[in-house]
Structure 1
């Protein structure tokens, strides 16, 4: 059981609807005498300076976090709350909202259920990537959805030599490579032809982007396996990005190591909003 005494609030400040809904939640919390803290930039936008808190303070003081935005807002928050065991509730004000499963009209009901402890939590595995150049680490990062290596504006295809647990698997040329978590399997990986994976599983999905070899197909591997990609490309603009964040420039000969991150992120889940219902409603799976 999670006792809720302080609620954290984090919004996409670029969305007017997110601001309006956060203001309604704050009024609701005040009316019910429930304490709350607001992420710093969100607090400035909401004129809640007395309740302003940075991510470190939020991790230390709140019992769950309400996020107002789209899936991108949840992805940003996941990096800050990974490993904290603080449940995140995503309220969808985006276009798709596959991970932010609560719609705006159901916010108060969802908060009521959380305060009554009538909810479940689920841990989602995260992913990490390291870039090595001349045997020295030059970049590292982690995220919830995926690691993407792409050729950017380069006209030349990327050559990839793929290893799993230091065992050679295959080599191919193409536009790049996606390694995703189960959560990220319904994002870019799916668009590139990868499979949909239940988020409760601990696996990684390797999906080549437009490979120039007909025999190269997406591959599902164990959650504790390590992926190594040796890269070869003529020209520049090759990049690596994590969860769509601004990429790091890659060079010919770089090695990228990708594996499960050491920390999970915790999401609020309601039994009636199960994975297969969300697939049906959001992705139109099984519908004509």
Structure 2
């Protein structure tokens, strides 16, 4: 029985076309049957039939290889969510936080895949339920990185109420609210001033966006708790919910969104045992050695007491 790999890539980029050609060649030589998926079939929020159609053929694959940046990996996640098939990301983008391999290591990645020399890591997602005015049944979705409630019009702030486990916590005007997984803590939530969460932290982060309030700090709840964000009746503008920057739904005034840790994690093929700390340092180019330490090691460095005056020293003696 032949082994099968599905490739997802960004077909419009020249570097992706070149990487695709090499990947197909290397996978074929390694004995894999290769299938391609290059349609940008973003599922609509709550349209689970569209998701099922997009995933056709995924379950027959041993892995899904993604050639691109984090955006392409998020697109591929729509194919594998709920299937148990692992994603193997080869970074062709800028940061590539979700990717496991770089472009120059593509051949080695194929060899490791062929030898089944990789670990499978599970990353939690968030499940999202949207309650719209006049509808009895909520519309459901999910996100790997984050679910974001934002104002639908730029000229005014949206008024939201925040609750945890059904208990009111705070309300304020803001540009929006980001609710992210630990995986998404280095994405939109990070740019909004939220903390970095290590992948094994089993919690959901909430970060307000430009909130007009005294208490509008990032929050982290546990895996059995739920955030509720309501677009208050007094809000001058409606809102919009976006999941992973791809799936969206309008939120009229009076709508509310529930976000909790998801039941079905996503699976990633990991080639390196390096800890998340090393990935963080590498992707963000963090200065492990600070400028003060670098300066102290330079020839002729002056201490905080200043240069030694030998003549004055002899006079004192």
Pairwise same-fold verdict (TM > 0.5): yes
Within-5 A mapping of 1:35-184: 35-39=33-37, 41=39, 55-134=54-133, 136=135, 137=137, 139-184=139-184
Deviates more, 1:4-13 or 1:58-67: 4-13
Aligned residue for 1:214?
A: 214
Deviation at 1:40, TM superposition (A): 5.8
4+ residue stretches of structure 1 with deviation over 6 A? none
Deviation at 1:272, TM superposition (A): 4.3
1:258-286: per-residue Cα shift (whole Å, max 9, x none)? 11222111001123443211110112334
**How has the CA–CA distance of structure 1 residues 27 and 63 changed in structure 2, closer, same or farther, with 3 Å as cutoff?**
same
**How has the CA–CA distance of structure 1 residues 222 and 182 changed in structure 2, closer, same or farther, with 3 Å as cutoff?**
same
**How has the CA–CA distance of structure 1 residues 4 and 159 changed in structure 2, closer, same or farther, with 3 Å as cutoff?**
farther
Aligned residue for 1:262?
A: 263
SS of structure 2 residue aligned to 1:285: coil
Deviation at 1:231, TM superposition (A): 1.3
User: Of the candidates 3, 6, 9, which is equivalent to residue 11 of structure 1?
Assistant: 9
**How has the CA–CA distance of structure 1 residues 180 and 91 changed in structure 2, closer, same or farther, with 3 Å as cutoff?**
same
Mapped to 2, the partners of 1:179 and 1:123 lie a distance apart of: 19
Mapped to 2, the partners of 1:237 and 1:132 lie a distance apart of: 14
Aligned residue for 2:252?
A: 251
**How has the CA–CA distance of structure 1 residues 75 and 63 changed in structure 2, closer, same or farther, with 3 Å as cutoff?**
same
SS of structure 2 residue aligned to 1:169: strand
Contact 2:132 2:254 (8 Å CA) reproduced: yes
Gapped regions of structure 1 (runs ≥ 5): 43-53
SS of structure 2 residue aligned to 1:67: strand
Deviation at 1:105, TM superposition (A): 0.5
| TM-score, length-scaled by structure 2 | 0.80
Deviation at 1:138, TM superposition (A): 6.0
SS of structure 2 residue aligned to 1:148: strand
Contact 2:146 2:243 (8 Å CA) reproduced: yes
Mapped to 1, the partners of 2:54 and 2:257 lie a distance apart of: 29
Mapped to 1, the partners of 2:274 and 2:79 lie a distance apart of: 25
Mapped to 1, the partners of 2:59 and 2:126 lie a distance apart of: 24
